[in-house]
Chains A and B, each alone.
Chain A
Amino acid sequence: MKVMAIIKRILHQFRRDKRSMALMIVAPLFILTLMWLVLDGDSYSPDIAVVDIPEPIIEILEGQEAEIHVMAMEEAEKALKDEELDAMLTWDEAGFKVLLEGSDPNANSAVQKVLQQTMKESSDKPVPQTKVEFLHGSENLNLFDNVGPVLIGFFVFFFVFIVGGVSFLRERTQGTLERLLATPLKRWEIVTGYLGGFGVFTVIQSIIIAAFSIYVLNIYMTGEFWYVMLITFLLAMAALSLGTLLSAYANNEFQMMQFIPLVIVPQVFFSGIFNLDTMQPWLRAIGKVMPLTYGGEALRDIMIRGEGIHGFLDEVYILIGFSVLFILLNILALKRHRKL
């Protein structure tokens, strides 16, 4: 079959082009590891200076997750200015007064959490205990566990988009596309050949990236491994078909790179890595046209919420829909090069 010939050729090319292969596999692992190092830290323990605070309170404070420094007023103020402290705690008749350094929201909320806990423990009246349970996840779920699933999807999408788009573009610039169009190959055979060749490769890529995140980086994962594979594969297909489609509108590799800020970067913002609940609804709707929104959501459903296929079936259909749409447009776009 002629499609097989193209698939075989693409795999041959991959075998020769070690760098592109590395870009698709090693680069995502490398960046995921960096993200993990940054986001997977323990919860932040703030530096708090206490000025004229009664001894019993200091004792309670010291039991919290914070570094407590007993200081004089002037010393504390200076340290706060020099960013050595996150907060300064003083005491007068009216009660506690907190001065936050204030430039880091993470530190701010950590300080407030410490103070709340201290208040609770220092009051004589027994406070009704709130029992916290988790429907999904656990109290150990950190930022990396939360954004990790979307990041896995994102890196698969990003690197497949680039490598797929550029290879198809080179097919045009080195004249081989025209050469292929001078053969009895049908346009759909060329497009499917590409999807097939890269498809084989992206399956391998997906396995490696997902396995690395789950078993090496220990990202939170309660769902089925092969569901993760399914979604990353579908995302890769959407990325590949979009990349090859857009490559028709680029004249060289540099112009292909110009699609990154237009197509890839907005997906970072709108696909759910950041919480969009406070955004204007019409702005939030931008995310609805982006494959990564659905891929990311499905990956979270699987990895954090442990859902079965019915929990993310809609996303699967939508991702397939994206790919089919891009593939059809791609076959149409090739008409620019050969009418038949």
Chain B
Amino acid sequence: MEAVIKVNDISHSFGKETVLKDIQLSVGKGEVFGLLGPSGSGKTTLVKIIVGILKPISGNAVVLEKTMPSLKQMKHIGFMAQSDALYSELSGRENLDFFASVYGLSKAERQQRIREVLEVLGLSDDIDKPVDKFSGGMKRRVSLAAALLHKPEILILDEPTVGIDPVLRKSIWEELNALKDEGTTIILTTHVMDEAEKCDQLALLRNGHVIAQGTPHSLKKDINAATIEEAFLHYGGVGQ
């Protein structure tokens, strides 16, 4: 399969603290790729490097055959950060309109895309309220909506379902799978083990190392584990 994102030997550190060590990954087109690991394992740092916000100390990330960071490639990436990153005084719609115009969408395009995205995410009702009146789940969805506006080929989501109720989580996953079917490549980070099962490919991260990589099925099968959690413990133990 054609690799849309390649991570080559990335190591990164903040000051003396090493956050990522020799990370190698390859993400194929239309895959849902999960980065699974506890907090502090380096998921967010890795994601920021792929998005192009951070430049690794050694190694590189290649997105659509171009080394990051590259402003040109950023157009093809939709990013949803761990924090909701919305302007709390503005209404949901104004937030979306702003992010859409940052990507250079025309007024007509913006209106159309906002309508589409709101419909898909079931947000149409309260979108004109100011964001600081929104519930946590609402903010999360608006934040996801903001990442989808410019129809990115690659979607990078940092803990997209954290703090979201199960019904909503299910609908977000349905949406992600629909995007996947349209050919969107999705990278997401999570620390929820059962959520990891839904990914096509998984990389298990611990203390800045990839301790295992593969499909959820093969990760479990190789060691006769019943759950991903068991697999994580097993590979983590080997790593020590």
A contact set with B: CB distance below 8 Å: 2, 4-6, 8-9, 12-13, 16-17, 174-176, 178-186, 337-340
Task: Known A178-B81, A338-B52; judge A185-B102 contact (CB<8 A).
Answer: yes
Compute how far the CA of A6 lies from the CA of B104 in the bound complex, rounded to whole angstroms. Answer: 12
A-B contact pairs, 12 of them (CB 8 A): A2-B102, A5-B98, A8-B101, A17-B89, A174-B88, A175-B83, A175-B84, A175-B85, A182-B53, A184-B71, A340-B69, A340-B71
Residue B70 at the A interface, CB < 8 A? yes
A182 touches B98 (CB 8 A): no
Could you tell me the distance in whole angstroms from the C-beta of B226 to the nearest C-beta in chain A?
37
Contacting residue for A2 out of B48, B81, B86, B104, CB 8 A: B104
B74 touches A183 (CB 8 A): yes
Given A180-B102, A182-B79: 13 more A-B contacts, CB < 8 Å: A9-B87, A12-B94, A16-B130, A17-B89, A174-B85, A175-B83, A175-B84, A176-B85, A176-B87, A182-B77, A339-B54, A340-B55, A340-B69
Residue of B nearest to A182 (CB): B79
Could you tell me the distance in whole angstroms from the C-beta of B48 to the nearest C-beta in chain A?
8
Residue of B nearest to A190 (CB): B102
- Top 4 A-B pairs, shortest CB-CB distance: A175-B83, A5-B101, A179-B85, A175-B85
B90 touches A13 (CB 8 A): yes
Interface residues of B in 48-101 (CB under 8 A from A): 48, 51-55, 69-72, 74-75, 77, 79, 81-90, 94, 98-99, 101
A182 touches B71 (CB 8 A): no
Could you tell me the distance in whole angstroms from the C-beta of A198 to the nearest C-beta in chain B?
15
Residue B103 at the A interface, CB < 8 A? yes
Chain B interface main SS type: loop
User: How extensive is the interface on chain B, given as a class?
Assistant: 20 to 34
B83 touches A174 (CB 8 A): yes
B98 touches A9 (CB 8 A): yes
A339 touches B83 (CB 8 A): no
Compute how far the CA of A12 lies from the CA of B83 in the bound complex, rounded to whole angstroms. Answer: 22
**B102 to chain A: which residues have CB within 8 Å?**
2, 5-6, 180, 183-185
Residue of B nearest to A340 (CB): B69
Compute how far the CA of A8 lies from the CA of B95 in the bound complex, rounded to whole angstroms. Answer: 11
**A16 to chain B: which residues have CB within 8 Å?**
89-90, 130
Could you tell me the distance in whole angstroms from the C-beta of B110 to the nearest C-beta in chain A?
10
Could you tell me the distance in whole angstroms from the C-beta of A189 to the nearest C-beta in chain B?
9
**A174 to chain B: which residues have CB within 8 Å?**
83, 85-88
**A178 to chain B: which residues have CB within 8 Å?**
48, 53, 81, 85
Task: Known A2-B102, A2-B104, A340-B70; judge A176-B52 contact (CB<8 A).
Answer: no
Compute how far the CA of A13 lies from the CA of B132 in the bound complex, rounded to whole angstroms. Answer: 13
**B94 to chain A: which residues have CB within 8 Å?**
9, 12
**B88 to chain A: which residues have CB within 8 Å?**
174
Interface residues of B in 91-136 (CB under 8 A from A): 94, 98-99, 101-104, 130
**A176 to chain B: which residues have CB within 8 Å?**
85-87
A9 touches B69 (CB 8 A): no
Compute how far the CA of A4 lies from the CA of B104 in the bound complex, rounded to whole angstroms. Answer: 11
**B104 to chain A: which residues have CB within 8 Å?**
2, 184
